[in-house]
Structure 1
Amino acid sequence: MSHSLRDHASTRYCIVLGAEGVGVGRWHGNQHQWLGSRAFTSDANEPAWAAALPALAALLGEHAVRAGQCQVLLSARYSRFCLVPWSAAISHPRELQAYAQACFENLYAQPLDGWRIVLSPEPAGAARIATALPEALLQGLQALAQDNRLRLRSVQPYLMAAYNRCSAQLQAGDFLFVLAEPRRSVLLLAAGGAWQQVLTQGCADSDQALQALIERTCELYGEHMPQVYLHAPGRGDVPQLAAVQLCQPASETDPLCAMWRAVA
């Protein structure tokens, strides 16, 4: 499930847009260096990215981030996810985009104007995971990249980066992949070799809350519980849950740095 908006250049900087802060890391050959992060407070009447972009501009200026390649990882707070069932009636990419938009609008009960949809590549007959990203956020990131002479190589939901990084550790069979970002979790359920559900849920940063969320999701699966895989890079401790731990959290006090290191 590798989908992002990208060109083919190599990266030098990696920007993380978290739910309440932004951060940036840098590559020097094989050496990784975390430059730092900056918190922001969002207005309840405005989208979160409206506060994130000025914070990012200040952070890039503070660390003199200039003239390189960059990729952006987005917290689930900036993304919408939706399962797009297979339809044999669709034969053209434009039809698929319109179908995906209809799925989003049915799920969220509101128009999807001003959002860009990206679909995971799946074989014929299988459902796809679709991601909707705010067009204004994407344009703002492109403008910031140009202002700092950066080539924007990709903009990718952290969910996709984490899943792609961890997928080699997943065994064959049905599974539930859980991404536990700080205060928000995303769950991907796969069965029979195809995606069955994607769910985003606000969740307290406690083992009890996360375990309850996992159990509720597994109840939808049926009699046989799927294998549960957990990726929790923003947690300072290792969750004590009945799940396979993927990409063990680094001993980082900054959750944005932990997220970056988990997929760097």
Structure 2
Amino acid sequence: MSHLSPDRYCAVLGAEGVGLGRWHANQHQWLGSCGFTCDATQPAWAPALQALNALLSEHALPGAQLRVLLSARYSRFCLVPWSDAIGHPRELDAYARACFENLYGQSLDDWRIVLSPEAAGAARIATALPQALMQGLQALAKERRLGLRSVQPYLMAAYNHCSAQLEQGDFLFVLAEPRRSVLLLAAGGAWQQVLAQGCADTDQALQALIERTCELYGEHLPRIYLHAPGRSDVPQLAAVQLCQSAGDSDPLCAMWRAVA
């Protein structure tokens, strides 16, 4: 008797649409995407869940595994400095929440905080995800009889996938999603800055954003690495292009292929 591995699906929740891909045996297959419009009376992620439900009902088989990647639109980012006073995971979580509240000016009690693993003495990158969105994904997976394997910010998946291409030394990692970019600045072997903001999908807008971030670094600019999966053309910038997948007209498909 042969025991076949269950199908594995990966959903990408973008700013204006949701896409779904599948791994079956050794084959990757893009199943399609579904757009949605946002209503100011509901959270931004609510129509994304509805669109994901429609895609799963059409394509996903019960018993399969599901991985979810979240656009920067559904995440908040913050640099959490090292503190010798932190000695327990609960203290670290409270400290990270205080950093977020100081940055955003509001409580994040209803958000889940995820921290990057770093060596002692180094700052961490913290990501906040809406708790209601996480619960909604869990409920949807249960309803569809799918195993929810992971829910991860696309920034994290893209950086981990591209990290082998990064050389030693200081660098700026730029993730240019459609209409929104996230920049990670590392110097001296530690994270120094994380910035997420809306950005037009043009070389000029992206170049200006990179230059403003590099001004925080000093006179000698770091090496710049760019991952722009939502761009139909290759950005003409003085940066190392990472994980590019040319030819994908659907930006959600490009994001999925870049980390598949």
Aligned length: 256
Distance 1:64 1:166 in 2: 28
Distance 1:135 1:221 in 2: 34
Identify unmatched segments of 5+ residues in structure 1. Answer: 1-8
For residue 24 of structure 1, give the secondary structure of its aligned residue in structure 2: strand
Aligned to 1:5: none
How is 1:1-264 mapped onto 2 (pairs within 5 angstroms)? 12-264=8-260
Distance 1:69 1:62 in 2: 15
Aligned to 1:6: none
TM-score by length of 1: 0.95
What amino acid sits opposite 2:170 in the alignment?
D
Q: Given that residues 233 and 246 in structure 2 are in contact (C-alpha distance below 8 angstroms), is that contact kept between their aligned partners in structure 1?
A: no
For residue 99 of structure 2, give the secondary structure of its aligned residue in structure 1: helix
Q: Given that residues 74 and 157 in structure 1 are in contact (C-alpha distance below 8 angstroms), is that contact kept between their aligned partners in structure 2?
A: yes
Q: Percent identity?
A: 81
**Alpha-carbon offset, residue 10 of structure 1:** 8.5
Identify unmatched segments of 5+ residues in structure 2. Answer: none
245-254 or 192-201: which moved more?
A: 245-254
**Alpha-carbon offset, residue 11 of structure 1:** 7.1
**Alpha-carbon offset, residue 37 of structure 1:** 0.5
Q: Given that residues 9 and 60 in structure 2 are in contact (C-alpha distance below 8 angstroms), is that contact kept between their aligned partners in structure 1?
A: no
TM-score by length of 2: 0.96
For residue 239 of structure 1, give the secondary structure of its aligned residue in structure 2: coil
Q: Given that residues 6 and 64 in structure 2 are in contact (C-alpha distance below 8 angstroms), is that contact kept between their aligned partners in structure 1?
A: no
Distance 1:158 1:197 in 2: 18
For residue 58 of structure 1, give the secondary structure of its aligned residue in structure 2: helix
Distance 1:242 1:10 in 2: 43
